[in-house]
Amino acid sequence: MSAALVLDAHQQAMLDGRHGWPQQLGMRMLAAVARAFDAAALLPVASVHLSLSGVSVGEPGLRLFEALRAQDGRFVVPTTLNVLSADRRSIGHAPAAHAKEQVQLRILEACERMGALGTYSCNPFLLGCNPAFGETVAWNESATAPYVNAVLGARTNREGATALASALTGYTAAYGMHVDIERRGSVLVEVDTPVQGSDAFAVLGGAVARAAAGRIPVIEGIVARPTLDEFTAFCAAFATISPLATFHMVGITPEAPTRAAALAGGAVDALSITGATIEAETARYTTAASERLDVVTVGCPHASLAQVREVADLLGSAGIHAGTTFLLQTNRMIAAQAAAEGLDRRLAAAGVDLTADTCVHISYRQPPPGAVLATNALKIAYLTASHDMEVRFGTLRQCVRAAIAGRWLA
């Protein structure tokens, strides 16, 4: 028998509309989700990460956000914001996109007036937004969930519209990653090949997700704690291929001090990730047959300052080929830090477009159908098929070399 949802007096008052329509709407959403997943209670959340891109929510989303604001809707917990569909620094430069850009500006204005923090990044932890171990949060953006759950040991499901409900009410439903037993591993994955650097960890994330096939992996064989950039790349790739919201690295992530601690108990399958597995996973995402190259995209998730520096160093005194567009994607705060170091001028002189707060996947600025895109981001390589483009997937070094040459080099 499934558990019946029990609300406390404050939650019931919100559901009854005694605290206004915005909180009633949010509580209705959460109660429906709780009942669908047999959750017996709602949990208070410490923070929310919310999607608001114009491409994702469009004009219906605009109408909702503005209606919530008009009815005195407020975000009652700290709420960070995901990427936009436009770089605000270039709004107005393309008259054909004016109407869409205005939709995006109105959406972000409504969110900020309701109390959201203007982070506009797919990895807010890059900006210091790090939930504490064991803390309950409600974060949108698929790649954040494995980072929050596995790397930090905080707790979130892969939220969608329910993140908005949590921002309005301060609660989330007690199911999935908020339940201890649901967080335990169910398949052992041994990494039998050296892995170092963000590019390698991205491919590993895809390979582990594919091998685990819907089971929470307990990973052994990682010899040193991954860096922030390596963890970020792994989590983004893992979440792209897998529907899961967590993983464990034995001796590294906080809920996996040992193999036994990370596993749910009983016999489990054991899988191996070898050099051949990594090679096969890398080859999987290249769909372009020719060496032609139109666009290079780096920074999915958003590039850190260290990665911006790395691109500048790899370029040296060289410039981007005249027929190639190079998009280096980050958030505005990292872009400001890059400007303080003079990196923005170096990159601009080389022909690199250092974008802020947006991403090519949900941007109004899209390469034309049939374009060939090169990237070191497994997530973008995987998603590009939905944009009718061909892909070259490789390392950051390969992508920079190709951008200079204007074609993919072996």
Domain spans of the chain, in order of start: 9-180, 184-283, 295-405
**Please, which residues have CB within 8 angstroms of residue 47's CB and are 6 or more apart in sequence?**
77, 78, 79, 80, 129, 131, 135, 137, 138, 139
Query: So what CATH class is 295-405?
Result: alpha beta
- Report the distance separating Cα 196 and Cα 163, nearest Å: 34
> Residue 221: pLDDT above 80?
yes
> Residue 162: pLDDT above 50?
yes
How many Cβ atoms from other residues are within 10 Å of residue 228's Cβ?
A: 15
At 144 the pLDDT is 96
Mean pLDDT value of segment 54-78: 97
Query: Between the CA of residue 273 and those of 56, 216, 237, 360, what are the distances in Å?
Result: 35, 15, 15, 31
Q: How many CA atoms lie within 13 A of 346 on its CB side?
A: 18
> Residue 388: pLDDT above 90?
no
At 1 the pLDDT is 44
Cβ–Cβ < 8 Å for 302, 331: yes
- Report the distance separating Cα 275 and Cα 279, nearest Å: 6
Residue 2 pLDDT level (bands cut at 50, 70, 90): low
Mean pLDDT value of segment 198-203: 98
At 385 the pLDDT is 79
> Residue 21: pLDDT above 70?
yes
> Rounded mean pLDDT of the chain?
96
CATH number for the domain whose boundaries are 9-180:
3.30.499
Residue 95 pLDDT level (bands cut at 50, 70, 90): confident
- The fraction of the chain above a pLDDT of 70, given in percent, is 100
Q: Do domains 9-180 and 295-405 have the same CATH topology?
A: yes
**Please, which residues have CB within 8 angstroms of residue 402's CB and are 6 or more apart in sequence?**
293, 296, 324, 374, 392, 394, 408, 409
> Residue 266: pLDDT above 80?
no
At 116 the pLDDT is 98
- Report the distance separating Cα 367 and Cα 357, nearest Å: 18
- Report the distance separating Cα 203 and Cα 129, nearest Å: 26
Cβ–Cβ < 8 Å for 232, 200: no
How many Cβ atoms from other residues are within 10 Å of residue 156's Cβ?
A: 31
Of 54-63, 85-94, 255-264, 283-292, minimum mean pLDDT range: 85-94
Cβ–Cβ < 8 Å for 265, 344: no
> Residue 231: pLDDT above 70?
yes
> Residue 129: pLDDT above 70?
yes
Cβ–Cβ < 8 Å for 50, 78: no
> Residue 3: pLDDT above 80?
no
pTM above 0.85, yes or no: yes
